[in-house]
Amino acid sequence: MNGIVGGTLGAGAALGGLVVVGVIIAVGLVLLLLFAGMYNGLVRRRVDADNGFSQIDVQLKRRYDLIPNLVETVKGYAAHERGTLEAVIAARSRAVAVPAGAVAERAQAEGQLTQALGRLFAVAESYPDLKANANFGALQEELASTENKIGFARQHYNDCVGRYEEARQAFPTNLVAAAFNFEKRDYFKVEEAAAREAPKVSFS
Amino acid sequence: MSRLGGQTGTAGPRMDDQMRQRVSAYPGTLTFLDLIAKNKRDSAVLMVFMVTFGVVIGGVLASAIAVYLGAAPDMQTLLPSIVLGGLVALIFGVFGAIWSWFGGASAILAMSGAREITKELDPELFNVVEELAIAGGIPMPRIYLIGDSAMNAFATGRDPQHAAVAITVGLRQKLTRDELQGVMAHEMSHIRHYDTRFAMLMATMAGLIVFACDAFWRIIWYSRGPRRSNSDREGGGGGILIIVLIVIAVLLAIVAPIVARLIQMAYSRQREYLADAGAVELTRNPLGLASALQKLGDDDEPLVDTANRGTAHMYIVNPLRKMRDAGQSLDSMFLSHPPVKERIARLLALAR
């Protein structure tokens, strides 16, 4: 009799132990999954931001490549606009020289290049022959579009940084972020006041 | 109610008080990431639902046909018909889904008479689309031109990696760059939100259900009716069962296509608003799309050549002219698009 009672008691205790172990394993698994989800989420957002930044770089390089061609074309029609042309070339050189990673510095240099280009296109308005040149027209479209692409790439990068920073700072992902050294990412800020204005729709 | 039509020449379409009220109801908390997740989930749920619905319809209609042709109305004789009908529906559903997943986009592009163009043919259009692809962080879609003077555009493809946008020559020629950007941003949002996947699967499934019910009618219509010897053998209760079964089948054959279309259109309308909002998220310029919609709304030429009720939901505005302006009446439930006015109103709300 005693043996049987002891046996069932023993089985009960073993069952209880099993339940405890099971609960511990289950909780551990859940925590592990939560951690993995948060960690992977942070990684994904960081990769998105990095991709976004490289996309800005691609467009900036494209703009560097287009400028010499543009300068040559304009020179043929408006050689005595030397000051404006040199300002563009100088701004381009300065922008190219900015070391990789210096986000704020780059934003400033690119802003100046945008302004110099804007002045060049404004000057071109008073040269009908230049405006009629097919090559100039194509370059203008390409540069205007590249300008837009830079803007959109920046917008996309900033969106990605926003999502990354939100995850990095919000509880509980901030714990994971701090433990695994997820570093702060800077927004790509626009220095130029004109670039902040909303574009206007034209009814033509 | 002031008319929105006509070009105001200054700051985009005008907005009256009624509109201001309507636009203030715009929900602004949804992000596109939520949208994508929701759309993928909806696509899966909808597929399961539609296939199940199709299997049930297949079973019921097949058994009704069997009874109509003289089979005894008891479970044992009808089971093979039910299983067969369900199985045929299942096979059609699965193959339909597979077909629309892999071949739907090209089929739609071919059906609409669109041809792919390269950058040399239209650098501006390419640049506009590329700008938006960058803004949305998605790959560059293929670009198609539809040789039609009507004004319209659509997007298709199962995911952003396999996407295409198409625009009619008429629309391409009549838009300014800002307006073109708005229209393309709307299409890119459909791609980015996975609306194109959802719409494709939905259209296939709804089409199959309509087709199944149509087939049912034809079989009933062209068959010679119940064979006398069999229905003589069955009497009393069996007769009532036959009538009940056939009535259920007939009701189902009437209601199912309508329900399928209703679901499809309700989703389509919702997605149009969301794509408009997504377009603004990309361009940060609500006025471009608003102005383009204005032009589209004022356009009188319907895209009859290549569009039909089955493909109408894909376009940026309803290509079937008479359905474009219908107001709050009952048939607005069957519309694939919300009224253009309403969409402009919501866009202007964002421009405040």
List Cβ neighbours of B178 (8 Å cut-off, separation of 6 or more).
Answer: A199, A201, A202, B285, B287, B288, B291
Confidence of residue B54 (pLDDT cuts 50, 70, 90): confident
User: What residues does A51 pair with on adjacent strands?
Assistant: none
Asked if B298 contacts B315 with a C-beta cutoff of 8 angstroms, the reply is: no
pLDDT tops 90 at residue B140? yes
Main-chain dihedrals φ then ψ at residue B331, nearest 5 degrees = -70, -5
**Each residue's pLDDT tens digit, B338-350:** 778 888 887 887 7
Q: How far apart are CA B165 and CA B128, in angstroms?
A: 12
Asked if B346 contacts B26 with a C-beta cutoff of 8 angstroms, the reply is: yes
What is the model's pLDDT at position B340? 81
* B136/A155 touch (CB, cutoff 8 Å), yes or no: no
User: What residues does B142 pair with on adjacent strands?
Assistant: B164
User: What residues does B130 pair with on adjacent strands?
Assistant: none
Question: Which residues of chain B does A63 touch, with a Cβ-Cβ cutoff of 8 Å?
Answer: none
A66 in a domain, yes or no? yes
Main-chain dihedrals φ then ψ at residue A101, nearest 5 degrees = 100, -20
Residue B22 CB-density burial (10 A; 0-12 exposed, 13-18 middle, 19+ buried) = middle
Interface of B to A at Cβ within 8 Å reads 7-9, 12, 123-124, 127-128, 130-132, 134-137, 176, 178-179, 282, 284-285, 287-288, 290-291
Q: How far apart are CA A146 and CA A63, in angstroms?
A: 6
Asked if B336 contacts B268 with a C-beta cutoff of 8 angstroms, the reply is: yes
**Each residue's pLDDT tens digit, B174-232:** 999 999 999 999 999 999 988 888 888 888 888 888 888 888 888 877 776 555 444 44
Which string of DSSP letters, residue by residue, matches chain A?
Answer: -HHHHHHHHHHHHHHHHHHHHHHHHHHHHHHHHHHHHHHHHHHHHHHHHHHHHHHHHHHHHHHHHHHHHHHHHHHHH-TT-HHHHHHHHHHHHHHHHSPTT-HHHHHHHHHHHHHHHHHHHHHHTT-HHHHH-HHHHHHHHHHHHHHHHHHHHHHHHHHHHHHHHHHHHSTTHHHHHHHTT-----------SGGGSPPPP---
What rounded mean pLDDT belongs to chain B? 77
Residue reference for tokens 């992000």: B31
* B179/A142 touch (CB, cutoff 8 Å), yes or no: no
- Number of neighbours of residue A95 by Cβ within 10 angstroms: 22
* A155/B127 touch (CB, cutoff 8 Å), yes or no: no
ipTM: 0.73
Confidence of residue B16 (pLDDT cuts 50, 70, 90): low
Residue reference for tokens 């079973």: B59
Residue reference for tokens 């830079």: A150
Angle, to 10 degrees, between the axis of helix B177-192 and the axis of helix B195-222? 70
Q: How far is CA A117 from CA A66, A111, B163, in A?
A: 11, 10, 35
Main-chain dihedrals φ then ψ at residue A130, nearest 5 degrees = -65, -45
pLDDT tops 80 at residue B351? no
A133 in a domain, yes or no? yes
Compare A177 and B39 and report the one with higher pLDDT.
A177
A166 in a domain, yes or no? yes
What is the model's pLDDT at position A190? 63
* Tokens encoding A86: 């040199």
**Each residue's pLDDT tens digit, B144-163:** 998 888 888 899 998 999 99
A5 in a domain, yes or no? no
* Tokens encoding A68: 């010499």
A64 in a domain, yes or no? yes
Confidence of residue B134 (pLDDT cuts 50, 70, 90): very high
Asked if B171 contacts B317 with a C-beta cutoff of 8 angstroms, the reply is: no
Our CA-based measurement puts residue A31 at a distance from the nearest CA of chain B, in whole angstroms, of: 23
What is the model's pLDDT at position A36? 92
What is the model's pLDDT at position B13? 47
Asked if B253 contacts A167 with a C-beta cutoff of 8 angstroms, the reply is: no
Task: Tell me the count of A-B CB pairs closer than 8 A.
Answer: 61
Question: Which residues of chain A does B282 touch, with a Cβ-Cβ cutoff of 8 Å?
Answer: 152
Question: Which residues of chain B does A195 touch, with a Cβ-Cβ cutoff of 8 Å?
Answer: none
A147 in a domain, yes or no? yes
| pTM, entire model | 0.77
* Domain assignment of residue A107, given as a range: 19-196
List Cβ neighbours of B77 (8 Å cut-off, separation of 6 or more).
Answer: B66, B71
Nearest chain A Cα to B174, which residue? A204
Check B116, B124, B131, B187 and give the catalytic one.
B187
Is B187 an active-site residue?
A: yes
A155 in a domain, yes or no? yes
- Number of neighbours of residue B180 by Cβ within 10 angstroms: 21
What is the model's pLDDT at position A30? 95
Confidence of residue B275 (pLDDT cuts 50, 70, 90): confident
CATH number of the domain encompassing residue A99: 1.20.1440.20
Compare B298 and B128 and report the one with higher pLDDT.
B128
Question: Which residues of chain B does A153 touch, with a Cβ-Cβ cutoff of 8 Å?
Answer: 134-135
Q: What is the pLDDT along chain A (204 residues), one digit of tens a residue?
A: 454 555 555 677 788 888 999 999 999 999 999 999 999 999 999 998 988 888 888 888 888 988 988 888 888 887 778 888 889 999 999 988 888 777 778 888 888 898 899 888 888 888 888 888 888 888 888 888 898 898 899 889 988 898 899 888 888 888 888 888 888 888 877 655 444 444 444 443
Q: Where are the alpha helices (H) located in chain B, listed in sequence order?
A: 17-24, 32-68, 75-102, 104-111, 123-136, 169-174, 177-192, 195-222, 228-233, 237-283, 286-298, 340-350
Domain count for chain A, please give it: 1
Nearest chain A Cα to B131, which residue? A149
Buried/exposed code over B149-177 (b: 16+ C-beta within 10 A; e: otherwise): ebbbbbbbbbebebbbbbbbebbbebbbb
A75 in a domain, yes or no? yes
Compare B313 and B293 and report the one with higher pLDDT.
B293
Confidence of residue B310 (pLDDT cuts 50, 70, 90): low
What is the model's pLDDT at position A12? 72
Residue reference for tokens 């729709």: A201
Q: How far apart are CA B217 and CA B252, in angstroms?
A: 11
